[in-house]
A = this chain, B = another copy of it.
């Protein structure tokens, strides 16, 4: 790591040009920040709102050097930034969040081990490299269980549920030889997430905790307030803040949590860490003065964070695939805010946009 002298940030480099990069660029623009986006996809949605862009693979060192020359700091929209890419850039300029956030979140085994080290409950887990590891793990954790690749999984990809001994071989083969992790089944009743921003000065701010509803492993709705017991919500906040602090994270991160209801009461189990802005925080754009995207860009630029005041109750609905075929029907809704990502091609499962609906619906004016 190079020591970088503090200088005011005017231009932010962004690795990844999808909707998260686009929304960060838009939020940065409101702070007077310019963005230069690097992404291999020439049709990246973020390119359309950025001051500059570079079409190149993340491993292209000439392109990375060009990016480093044009910006004051680098951030990213996805946790699978190659370690060599992050190291190449970090030798030249600040990369925020830093390497620890990437290391921990890129590998489910490192992530669960990290969480357990902080005393944060997770599903019981075992590393699985061989079929024997899997069989031993199942003997300890029981059925059902879930086998997941350690790296590169999202939206339910790279996962196989193991309900009975008859599923074992197929699940192992579905990993295609990749290092895996076996996770014991968590009998959760609800899914929530906590969104914490940590500033360059270590200051923490945490948004109200949304409840999340998935459809076919993809987030469909986030709702705030969640209706959680206050002590459960406070526990979720403590988890987000402990994770951000332990990672020396700079920017926003999300921790996905399961709520388990037992005879003794509610308890939380951490599922995974996203070291970036998160789909379950898109409601902040319409219900808060400072969105998760702006909080992230402030932190990355070394600017002060502010208390994330929320003025309205809100529900976010993801528009996935064909949901976006007739966006006009959302435009006429009073109290709703449509956000489209500028993707021209609708594909099944593709995140095309979202709608935030504030509650209670305000009176129409006039």
Contact = CB atoms under 8 A, between A and B. Distances in A.
B26 A49 contact: yes
Most B CB contacts (10 A, CB to CB) among A286, A312, A343, A365 go to A365
State the copy count for this chain.
2
Interface in A324-366: 327-328, 331-344, 353, 356, 358, 361-366
A209 to B, nearest CB: 10
Contacts of A84: none
Contacts of A237: 366
A206 B365 contact: yes
A166 B326 CA distance: 66
B311 A358 contact: yes
Contacts of A10: 344
A151 interface: no
Interface stretch (A168-176, A254-262, A298-306): A298-306
Interface stretch (A28-36, A71-79, A126-134, A266-274): A28-36
A91 interface: no
A14 to B, nearest CB: 13
A51 interface: yes
A48 interface: yes
Given A31-B338, A32-B353, A339-B30, A312 B309 contact: no
Nearest to A363: B309
A342 B32 contact: yes
A237 B304 CA distance: 40
Contact of A332 (B304, B337, B341, B356): B304
Given A30-B26, A51-B48, A303 B286 contact: no
Interface string A38-79: 000000000111110000000000000000000000000000
A250 interface: no
A15 interface: no
A107 B145 CA distance: 75
A87 interface: no
B31 A364 contact: no
Contact of A362 (B25, B29, B311, B331): B311
A118 interface: no
A286 B286 contact: no
A161 to B, nearest CB: 36
A253 interface: no
Contacts of A308: 365
Given A32-B340, A207-B365, A304 B289 contact: no
A208 interface: yes
Contacts of A334: 306-307, 309
19 contacts: A22-B29, A26-B30, A31-B338, A32-B342, A33-B342, A34-B342, A47-B51, A206-B365, A206-B366, A237-B366, A289-B335, A289-B337, A289-B356, A306-B331, A306-B334, A307-B334, A307-B366, A309-B364, A311-B362
Given A34-B48, A303-B328, 16 more contacts: A26-B26, A26-B29, A29-B342, A31-B340, A32-B340, A49-B51, A205-B365, A205-B366, A208-B365, A237-B366, A304-B328, A306-B332, A307-B366, A308-B365, A309-B363, A309-B365
